[in-house]
Structure 1
Amino acid sequence: MKEIKPPKKPLIYYYVVILIVVMLLNTFLFPAILRHSIKEVDYGTFLSMVDQGKVKQVQIEDDYITFSPKSGDVVYKTGTMNDPELVNRLHKANVNFSKVIPKESSPLINFFWTWVAPILIFMAIGQWLTKRMQTRMMGGGNGFSFGKSNAKVYVESETGITFNDVAGQDEAKEALQEIVDYLHNSKKYVDIGANIPKGALLVGPPGTGKTLLAKAVAGESKVPFFSMSGSEFVEMFVGMGAARVRDLFKQAKAKAPCIVFIDEIDAIGKSRNSSMAGGNDEREQTLNQLLTEMDGFEPDKGIVILAATNRPETLDKALLRPGRFDRRVPVELPDLAGRESILRVHARKVKLADDIDFNVIARATSGASGADLANIINEAALRAVRLGRNKVKQNDLEESVETVIAGYQRKNAVISMKDKLTIAYHEIGHALVAAKQSHSAPIHKITIIPRTSGALGYTMQVDEKETILMTKEQALDKITTYMGGRAAEEIIFKTITSGASNDIEQATKIARSMVTRFGMSDEFDMMALETVNNPYLGGDTTLLVSAETASKVDVEVLRIIKTCHQNAKMILQNNIDKLHELTKYLLEKETITGVEFMDILSGKELELI
Structure 2
Amino acid sequence: MDENRNSLPGQKRGSTWIIVIIVFFLITFILNMFSLSRTSVGQIQISYDQFLDLVEGDVVEQVYMDDDQIQIYLKDGVEETDVVMILGDGDNWENIPETQSMSFRTVVFYTGRVEDSNLSNFLRENGVHYSKEIPEQTSVFSAIASWILPIAIMYLLYFLVMKAMMKRMGGGIGGFMGGMGGNIGKSKAKVYTVEKSTGVTFRDVAGQDEAKESLEEMVDYLKNPEKYRAIGAQQPKGALLVGPPGTGKTLLAKAVAGEAGVPFYHLTGSEFVEMFVGVGASRVRDLFQTAKKNTPCIIFIDEIDAIGKKRDNQLGSNDEREQTLNQLLAEMDGFETNGGIIVLAATNRPEILDQALLRPGRFDRRIIVEKPDLPGRESILRVHGKKVSLSSDVDFHAIALATSGASGADLANIVNEAALRAVRIGRNVVVQEDLMESVETVIAGKEKKDRVLNSKERQMVAYHEVGHALVAALQKNAQPVQKITIIPRTMGALGYTMNAPEEERYLLTADELLAQITSLLGGRAAEIVKFGISTTGASNDIERATEQARKMVTQYGMSERFGSMGLQSTQNQYLDGRNVSTCSEQTGAEADEEVRKIIERCQDKAVKLLRENLEALDRIATRLLEKESISGKELMELIEK
TM-score between the two structures when normalised by the length of structure 1: 0.76
Secondary structure at the aligned position of 1:306 is classed as strand
CA contact (8 A) 1:139 1:150 kept: no
- 1:431 is displaced (CA, Å) by 0.3
Cα distance, 1:135 vs structure 2 = 6.4
Q: Does structure 1 conserve the Cα–Cα contact (< 8 Å) formed by 2:331 and 2:338?
A: no
Aligned match of 1:438: 476
Deviation at 1:133, TM superposition (A): 6.0
Cα deviation code 1:118-171 (max 9, x no counterpart): xxxxxxxxxxx9999666621334432311111000124420100000000000
8 Å Cα contact 1:139/1:148 also seen in 2: no
Q: Secondary structure at the match of 2:197?
A: helix
Q: Is 1:309 equivalent to 2:340 in the alignment?
A: no
CA distance in 2 between partners of 1:167 and 1:295 (Å): 33
Contact 2:298 2:341 in 1 (8 A): yes
Aligned to 2:399: 361
For residue 260 of structure 2, the aligned residue among 221, 224, 240 is 221
Q: How many Å separate the matches in 2 of 1:475 and 1:131? A: 61
- Alignment equivalent of 2:370, drawn from 332, 338, 348: 332
| Residues in 2 aligned to 1:321 and 1:307: alpha-carbon distance in whole angstroms | 14
**What CA deviation, in whole Å up to 9, does each residue of 1:469-497 have, x standing for no partner?**
11111100000001100000011111110
Is contact 1:198-1:305 (8 Å) kept? yes
Alignment of 1:394-409 (within 5 A): 394-409=432-447
The structure 2 residue matched to 1:173, chosen from 184, 204, 212, is: 212
Residue 276 of structure 1 deviates from its aligned partner by 2.9
2:503 matches 1:460: no
Given residue 218 of structure 2, which amino acid in structure 1 is its aligned partner? I
Per-residue CA deviation, residues 352-371 of structure 1 (Å, 9 max, x unaligned), is 11111000100000000000
Report the Cα offset of residue 224 of structure 1.
0.5
CA RMSD of aligned residues (A): 2.0
The amino acid that maps onto 1:165 is: D
Once the two structures are TM-superposed, the CA of residue 237 in structure 1 deviates from its matched residue by 1.4
Matched position secondary structure for 1:307 = strand
Give the match's secondary structure for 1:325: coil
SS for the counterpart of 1:511 is helix
Equivalent residue for 1:117? Answer: none
Give the Å deviation of 1:306: 0.2
Structure 2 residues not aligned, in runs of 5+: 1-13, 20-159, 174-179
Aligned to 1:86: none
TM-score normalised per structure 2: 0.72
Distance 1:217 1:135, change over 3 A: farther
Question: What residue identity is the alignment partner of 1:257?
Answer: P
**For residue 186 of structure 1, what is the aligned residue in structure 2?**
225
| One-letter amino acid of the counterpart of residue 281, structure 1 | D
Q: Which residue of 2 aligns with 1:196?
A: 235
Give, in whole Å, the separation in 1 of the partners of 2:166 and 2:198: 25
Q: 1:132 to 1:589 in 2, by over 3 A?
A: farther
Q: 1 CA distance for matches of 2:169 and 2:239?
A: 30
CA contact (8 A) 1:195 1:299 kept: no
Stretch deviating more after TM superposition (185-194 or 258-267): 185-194
Indicate the residue corresponding to 1:534 in structure 2.
572
Distance 2:322 2:214 in 1: 30
CA contact (8 A) 1:336 1:362 kept: yes
Partner Cα distance (1:563, 1:147) in 2: 64
1:198 and 1:299 in contact (8 A); partners too = no
> Following superposition of structure 1 onto structure 2, how do residues 56-67 of structure 1 map, counting pairs within 5 Å?
none
Distance 1:188 1:299 in 2: 22
1:585 aligns with 2:623: yes
Decide which of 151, 170, 173 is 1:139's aligned counterpart.
Answer: 170
**1:246 — aligned with what?**
285
Distance 1:207 1:222 in 2: 26
- The residue correspondences of 1:275-294 to structure 2 (distance < 5 A) are 276-277=314-315, 279=317, 281-294=319-332
CA distance in 2, matches of 1:581, 1:378: 38
What CA distance in whole angstroms lies between the structure 2 residues aligned with 1:440 and 1:299?
Answer: 57
Rg (Cα) greater in structure: 2
Percent of matched pairs sharing the same residue: 61
Q: Does 1:560 align with 2:598?
A: yes
SS at match of 2:244: coil
Equivalent-residue separation in structure 1 for 2:161 and 2:570 (angstroms) = 50
Count of residue correspondences: 478
1:372-397: CA deviation from partner (whole Å, max 9, x where unpaired)? 00000000000001001111111000
2:543 to 490, 505, 511: 505
The aligned residue for residue 48 of structure 1 is none
Aligned residue runs from structure 1 range 109-148, under 5 A:
137-142=168-173, 143-144=180-181, 145-148=183-186
Deviation at 1:298, TM superposition (A): 7.0
- For 2:229 and 2:162, locate their aligned partners in 1 and report how far apart those are by CA, in whole Å: 47
| Separation in 2, partners of 1:349, 1:276 | 51
SS in structure 1 of the partner of residue 524 of structure 2: helix
AA matched with 1:192 = I
Distance 2:172 2:523 in 1: 64
Equivalent residue number for residue 111 of structure 1: none
1:584 deviation in Å? 0.1
Partner AA of 1:534 in structure 2: N
For residues 523 and 172 of structure 1, the distance between their equivalents in structure 2, rounded to whole angstroms, comes to 41
Offset, 1:277: 4.1
**Aligned letter for 1:364?**
A
**Rounded Cα–Cα distance in structure 1 between residues aligned with 2:461 and 2:414:** 27
Within 2, Cα distance between the matches of 1:494 and 1:146?
70
Cα offsets for 1:286-316 (capped at 9, x unmatched): 1111101111487782110000000000100
Deviation of 1:414 (Å): 1.4
Amino acid of the structure 1 residue aligned with 2:307: I
Going from structure 1 to structure 2, the CA distance change for 1:427 and 1:495 (only over 3 Å counts) comes to same
Q: Give me the whole-angstrom Cα distance separating, in 2, the residues matched to 1:336 and 1:153.
A: 36
Equivalents in 2 of 1:567, 1:276: separation in Å? 52
1:240 is aligned with what amino acid?
Answer: V
Q: Kindly indicate whether residue 246 of structure 2 is the aligned counterpart of residue 207 of structure 1.
A: yes
1:210–1:308: 8 Å Cα contact kept in structure 2?
yes
SS in 2 for 1:206: coil
Q: Is the contact made by 2:292 and 2:338 (CA closer than 8 Å) also made in structure 1? A: no
Aligned equivalents of 1:278 and 1:492: distance in 2?
Answer: 57
Q: For residues 635 and 579 of structure 2, what CA distance do their matches in structure 1 show?
A: 39
1:487 to 521, 525, 528: 525
Corresponding letter in the other structure for 1:163:
F
Q: What's 2:416 paired with?
A: 378
Q: Which AA in structure 1 matches 2:210? A: E
Q: Is the 1:196–1:299 contact (alpha carbons within 8 Å) kept by the matching residues of 2?
A: no
Task: Give the residue type in structure 1 aligned to 2:429.
Answer: K
1:480 partner amino acid? T
Q: CA deviation at 1:337?
A: 0.4
Is residue 262 from structure 1 mapped to residue 329 from structure 2 by the alignment? no
**CA shift for structure 1 position 467:** 0.4
1:32-75 deviations in Å (ceiling 9; x for gaps):
xxxxxxxxxxxxxxxxxxxxxxxxxxxxxxxxxxxxxxxxxxxx
Task: Give the letter aligned to residue 267 of structure 2.
Answer: M
Which residue number in structure 2 is paired with residue 320 of structure 1? 358
> Gapped runs of 5+ residues in structure 1?
1-10, 17-128, 604-609
Residue of structure 1 equivalent to 2:77 = none
